[in-house]
Structure 1
Amino acid sequence: MKVLKFGGKSLANGKGIRTVIEIIEDKVKKDEKITVVLSARGNTTDELEGILEKASKSKPYQEQLDAFKKYQLDGFKSIDFTQEFETLDKLFEGVSLLGDYSKRIKDQVLSQGEVISAKLVTQLLQEKNIKANFTDSRSLIITDAQFGDAQPLDKLSKKNVISHFNKHNGSTVNVVTGFIASNTNNETTTLGRNGSNYTASLLANYLEAEELQNFTHVNGIYTANPDLVPDARKIEKLSFAEANELAYFGANILHAKTIIPLIEKNIPLRILNTFDYKNKGTLITATSNEKGIKSLSVLEHVALINLEGRGLLGKVGVDARIFRALAHKNISVSIISQGSSERGIGFVVEANKAKEAKTVLEQEFESDFHKRDVSGISIEENVSVISIIGQDLSTFHKPYNALIKNQVIPLLFNNTVTGATISLVVKKEQLHRALNVIHGEIFEIAKKINLAIFGHGLVGGTLIEQILKSSEQIEKRKKINLNIFAVANSKKVLLDKNGINEHWKNSIDEKGISYTIEDIVRYADEHHLENLIAIDNTASEAFTANYMHLVEHGFDLVSSNKVANTLSFDFYKELRKKLEDNQKQYLYETNVGAGLPLIDTIKLLHLSGENITRIKGVFSGSLSYLFNTYSNENRLFSEVLQEAIDKGFTEPDPREDLCGNDVGRKLLILARELDLSNEFEDVNIHNLIPEGLRQGEAQEFLEKLDNLNLVYQKVKEEQKPNHVLRYIGDLWGDLSKEKGNLDVKLVSVPQSSALGQVKGSDSIFEIYTESYGDQPIVIQGAGAGAAVTARGVFGDILRLTEKG
């Protein structure tokens, strides 16, 4: 025999109840021997509780009761629920007159939901000529007198069940009410939370069933709650031990008590979906073929109690006093953790028992308060518990570090004695993010990286296209899901928690909204987005003021914008301190060498203790092209400059390149990588623009390019033979001191030298160190262009994902 249990959502009006009848009919046609256990239909139990509460407070409840009755009869006019409705009418009337109700009365009220459900299914089956027998489990399951959470008396219950099924077996389908039972005085009791599952489990045990099939509204047990973690995957098979852990730690599809009767008789439990019943679901048996982490479970509606006191250190019996006092009030403790430096113990209780627990403990430790041995008992109410089933301490650092990186700081954690489960208490508002972070870290599912991109001009727009084009390949190869949830310019932002698509440009125009940085931070919080990276592709000094706020709210930073690293040294240090305090990263490789690995190389040399004595080179791809071409060709300076402008190598106003400030900022960035405290004012910059052309509009300057020809023709002619012009940055001096010398200047170098051999728009950097002497480390390559810079920013993003 198989025992089939159907939950409330499966039995709801419409598709639910029709499908349940189809499943039972299908099994009967296949000559399967089955018993059916039913919960109350839809939200029946919640509805009855709500009406009961209203009645107890003498509030009008009749309208809600009438709506309840109408739902139960909707589409089933031939069903007679007169007896059940009259029972409810009398109970609610009595409660309303008394203004209160007992647990005994509540059990009587709630029991009607299961009775109505079983009577309905029985008649619907009979109308299809299926031999169905309504079975009131109050005549089968006998319990103690603990109303609301009664415990079965096994010998009596088993005797009743076997006797009943001896009379009603063979082709008869027994339709049994779940959740409800009766005590030895024949009073209605209920089996507590998820009691219908428990009823089915007990029947399976007593009847030594072949399998218990639990029909729900999901396809089985998942690696996490799919409502909270979209990437959760179905688990094909679990062991009873693993299922028991899941049940204890809050998997609401199971009840811990459900597992025990099945373990005793080694009866498999299969979790199935009523609405997709051909899916094989999750099978739970004595053993599981797979080891390792199975699932994440969540306990909600809990509170954390903390008891602290220096005077309790080393005292014997403190824990016993705590648990004895709580047990006396029937308050159960689920998660426990202790500290020793300042004696303290934290534990988790049901939220509705937290205040009572605090009062009980204050009474128990009253004399200890007076002696100041106990300093405080506090309640942290808005918390949830996440349990990682199958996690041991040897690899726990991975999810833990990922949580810290996402600014989720567990309030408490512990592990089971076997070391096979670790539980964390987190703030409730961080639950979604914490689950997604842990899930992405411990299962072989692509880790989601949520990107906010500021600036979508040449570099930013190219970066977005690069990410969209290669994201599928990166996810397949690196198990990293790059999700651009925000794209912003100075006025508008496009937000989409599921990620933008190739039509993002039009979407910004059509759906973009005005914003502040706080709006983006709030959006990320509201949608529980994890692994956040903000990418600054602007050239804005104003935007860098947002860096601190972004870091404080969990964003790592990537920037092609040089400004933040060249503001005051005080800001530079403050930003680094903020990054350290929040355990965030800030990568900006493209600040100096576009796509070249310059900053990483210098950082590595410096951190390894290598004494860097000088850095010089051609820092600007734009000016590299300008002077490489001008030095090697017999052309006017203005003509070559115009060509550079036309090819997009310079800014729209080329004076931004020619003034030398860009090279100066890059040189300053390198100085600060060597821990030098130089300010931008310390950089000696040779401005390439004649003084009379520095002011005015860009167009006016562009019309006077010919005025540059005489100046640079003279410079060119005054060179030594076989020399060429290069505009370089030079960091030199005793770089072990507080500041170095920073020069940006136009120089003439031998054509045969490393600097002299640079071609096109390439950049080149010579790094001189104490160990290498006169032979510098040379880094050379493309130093300009949106594609190159965007690719460098992309590289920084990928480096961050690996560091995470």
Structure 2
Amino acid sequence: MTRIYPQIVVAKFGGTSVADYDAMNRSATLVLADDAVRLVVLSASAGVTNLLVELAAGLESHERLDKIDTLRAIQYNIISHLKQQDAIRQEIDHLLENISQLALSAADERSAALSDALVSHGELMSTLLFVEVLRERHVETQWFDARKVIRTNSEFGCAEPQVASIEDLAEKQLRPRIEQALLVTQGFIGSDAKGQTTTLGRGGSDYSAALFGEALHATRVDIWTDVAGIYTTDPRIVPQAQRMDRVSFSEASEMATFGAKVLHPATMLPAMRKDIPVFVGSSKNPAAGGTLVCRHAENPPRYRALAIRRKLTLLKLHSLNTQPACGFLAEMFAVLSRHNTSLDLVTTSETSIALILNSSSATSGDADTLTTSLLTELSSRCRVELETGLDLVTLIGNELTQVSGVCKDVFTELDKHHVRMICHGASDHTLCFLLPAESSDSAIKTLHRSLFE
């Protein structure tokens, strides 16, 4: 017998949506406007995670104290607007003391586990404060520790969720409480089997919201951010960028993977598994509408969007003895695997490989995946070239490998640009090209004018 689940909407608010008291008040209004919202997932207040990442890197005493004072000022500024301040200030002070102790430990000896424990405090503080904002509106609200449900492995900094365990824990820990009160919980953080705090990587609050939505069989996941939906490209680069009212899971997934900042790349996976629509809108201007991401978009266009990922490094590996490509490729990929290195894009010839490494998801931000040990081992087996200061521009569309004229449409417009690498064919949705950073914005403007305007 098929179980019927109640209507539940999971609402996630990003850092700018809980940056200060006014932002939290706007977000609270959005929550209360929809009775179906039963679980609220929050990021840390804007700027807080960056401060915590700096503390986790280990700082001198005066720098450490300055960062903690800045953190305290952000939290106290919100508390100063609340009617009942004493109890919440004590809770925030307790968390700030934890941060201080962990930062002191990080100054002596850094570790990924300690970093996750420290960085998680941003979400712990923002959710405690948001609960108070809602309670002042006389709403029955409870704070919930996401670590009781979001079970992960122990890959600190970029932990992998254990989906089956999350669904089981959500049924036991979350669903009974959702029926009694509105719950506020943290994005970005989880725990491993030993109860140690883990994080899902930078921007992981979107992913958390989708995981909660999947576990609860939600009818929709709302992602509230500082832009009114998903655009054909970054409006800061091209003011004429157009908002897309409806896109498919696959289109949105490619956009996120290749640099669109509106959604975390992994967000689409849980939504696709349970066919849960994801709405993206602006908490500052909800009346502006937004973008609905769902399984199918009606009459999808050939060209959907342009995305950009910045500050990438091109790694080129050349065989020393012109051995056959299969042996050389196998050897190079084995080295990369031993160093737990994830690849984004790869092109090959008979005796050389050009590749871009995936360095975008760890807690510390742009993780340095080109470690000394990796480069040392590669250099002992091949000739290594590095080229920095590059940006990856990606055209996202539909059936790009099934129709003629795509490359002509793109590269006719880029004839004056120095294209360093091209990837096309592995996906029907993307055409990627690597450009020097100083020309990438110009390329996007030119392509957007030609393909979208």
Per the TM superposition, whether the score is higher than 0.5 is: yes
Q: Partner amino acid for 1:95? A: A
1:324 aligns with 2:331: no
Task: Name the structure, 1 or 2, with higher relative contact order (CA <8 Å, separation 6+).
Answer: 2
1:195 aligns with 2:204: yes
Q: Are the counterparts in 2 of residues 179 and 191 from structure 1 also a CA contact under 8 Å?
A: yes
SS of equivalent residue, structure 1 residue 306:
strand
Question: 2:57 maps to what in 1?
Answer: 53
Q: Read off the aligned partner of 1:260 and give its amino acid letter.
A: L
Aligned equivalent of 2:411, options 394, 400, 410: 400
For 1:60 and 1:226, the matched residues in 2 are separated by 36
The alpha carbon displacement at 1:184 in A equals 1.2
Alpha-carbon deviations, 1:641-696, whole Å to 9, x = none? xxxxxxxxxxxxxxxxxxxxxxxxxxxxxxxxxxxxxxxxxxxxxxxxxxxxxxxx
1:363 is matched with: 377
Pairwise mapping of residues 303-702 of structure 1 onto structure 2 (< 5 A)? 303-309=313-319, 311-312=321-322, 314-340=324-350, 343-349=351-357, 350=359, 352-353=367-368, 355-356=370-371, 360=374, 363-364=377-378, 366=380, 374=382, 376-390=383-397, 392=400, 394=404, 395-404=406-415, 407-443=416-452, 445=453
Q: 1:315, 1:224 → 2: CA distance?
A: 38
Of the candidates 129, 137, 143, which is equivalent to residue 134 of structure 1? 143
Please point out which of 60, 65, 87 is paired with 1:62: 65
| CA distances 1:224-250 after superposition (whole Å, capped 9, x unpaired) | 111122221111111111111112212
Displacement after TM superposition at 1:313 (Å): 6.1
1:83 aligns with 2:90: no
Give the stretch that moved more between structures: 163-172 or 149-158. Answer: 163-172
> What CA deviation, in whole Å up to 9, does each residue of 1:332-368 have, x standing for no partner?
111112235xx322111237546427x635524635x
State the 1:171 CA deviation. 5.6
CA contact (8 A) 1:303 1:354 kept: no
C-alpha spacing 1:262/1:180, structure 2 compared with 1 (3 Å): same
User: Separation in 2 of the partners of 1:354 and 1:156?
Assistant: 30
CA shift in 2, pair 1:168/1:379, >3 Å: same
Residue 166 of structure 1 deviates from its aligned partner by 3.2
Aligned partners of 2:175, 2:413: CA distance in 1, in Å? Answer: 57
Between the aligned partners of 1:418 and 1:424, the Cα distance in structure 2 is 14
How many angstroms apart in 2 are the aligned matches of 1:305 and 1:365?
Answer: 12
The alignment partner of 2:79 has SS state of: coil
Contact 1:262 1:268 in 2 (8 A): yes
Whichever residue aligns with residue 70 of structure 1, its letter is A
* 2:237 counterpart SS class: coil
Distance 1:416 1:327 in 2: 24
Q: Say yes or no: does 1:239 pair with 2:248.
A: yes
User: Is contact 2:11–2:223 with CA below 8 Å preserved after alignment?
Assistant: yes
Aligned to 1:122: 131
Q: Distance in 1 between matches of 2:322 and 2:263?
A: 39
SS of residue in 2 equivalent to 1:410: coil
Residues 123 and 187 in structure 2, CA contact (< 8 A), matched pair in contact too: yes
Give the one of 206, 216, 223 matched to 1:207: 216
- Give the stretch that moved more between structures: 107-116 or 387-396: 387-396
Partners of 1:311 and 1:292 in 2: CA distance: 44
The 8 Å contact of residues 253 and 265 in structure 2, kept in 1 or not, is answered as yes
User: What letter corresponds to residue 421 of structure 1 in structure 2?
Assistant: T
3-state secondary structure, aligned to 1:287: coil
Q: Which amino acid aligns with 2:47?
A: N
Q: Which runs of 5+ in 2 are unaligned?
A: 1-7, 360-365
Instruction: Please give the alpha-carbon distance, in whole angstroms, between the structure 1 residues aligned to 2:174 and 2:78.
Output: 32
Matched, 1:284 2:287: no
Distance 2:175 2:421 in 1: 52
SS at match of 1:312: coil
In structure 2, what is the Cα distance between the partners aligned to 1:361 and 1:93? 32
1:9 to 12, 16, 26: 16
State the SS of the aligned residue for 2:342: coil
What is the distance in 2 between the residues matched to 1:102 and 1:3?
Answer: 33
Which secondary structure state, in structure 1, belongs to the residue aligned with residue 312 of structure 2?
strand
The 2-side partners of 1:129 and 1:135 are apart by 18
Give the 3 Å change call, closer, same or farther, for CA 120–352 of structure 1 in structure 2: closer
Residues 322, 361 of structure 1: 8 Å contact kept? no
Q: Distance in 2 between matches of 1:271 and 1:171?
A: 27
3-state secondary structure, aligned to 2:110: coil
1:275-328 CA distance string (max 9 Å, x none): 111233111111111231111111123211112348436442222222221121
- Secondary structure of the residue aligned to 2:247 is strand
Amino acid at match of 1:2: V
Counting only pairs closer than 5 Å after superposition, residues 35-50 of structure 1 correspond to structure 2 as: 35-50=39-54
In 2, Cα distance between the equivalents of 1:191 and 1:85?
A: 22
Offset from partner CA, 1:157-215 (integer Å, 9 cap, x none):
21211112332123621101111111111111111122111110111001110100000
Question: CA–CA distance in 2 between the matches of 1:123 and 1:430?
Answer: 48
Cα deviation for residue 26 of structure 1 reads: 2.2
Task: State whether residues 354 and 379 of structure 1, in contact with CA within 8 Å, keep that contact through their aligned partners in structure 2.
Answer: no
Quote the residue 2:229 is aligned against.
Answer: 220
Are the structure 2 counterparts of residues 60 and 291 from structure 1 closer, same or farther at C-alpha, using a change threshold of 3 Å?
closer
Contact 2:11 2:39 in 1 (8 A): yes
Q: Distance in 1 between matches of 2:69 and 2:368?
A: 33
Following TM superposition, by how much is the alpha carbon of 1:50 offset from its aligned partner in structure 2, in angstroms? 2.1
Shift of 1:416: 3.6
**One of 270, 279, 295 as aligned partner of 1:270:** 279
Partner-residue secondary structure (3-state), 2:168: helix
Name which of 235, 259, 267 aligns with 2:268.
Answer: 259
Letter in 1 for 2:393: I
- Judge conservation of contact 2:58–2:103 (CA < 8 Å) in 1: no
Amino acid at match of 1:338: T
Q: Which amino acid aligns with 1:82?
A: D
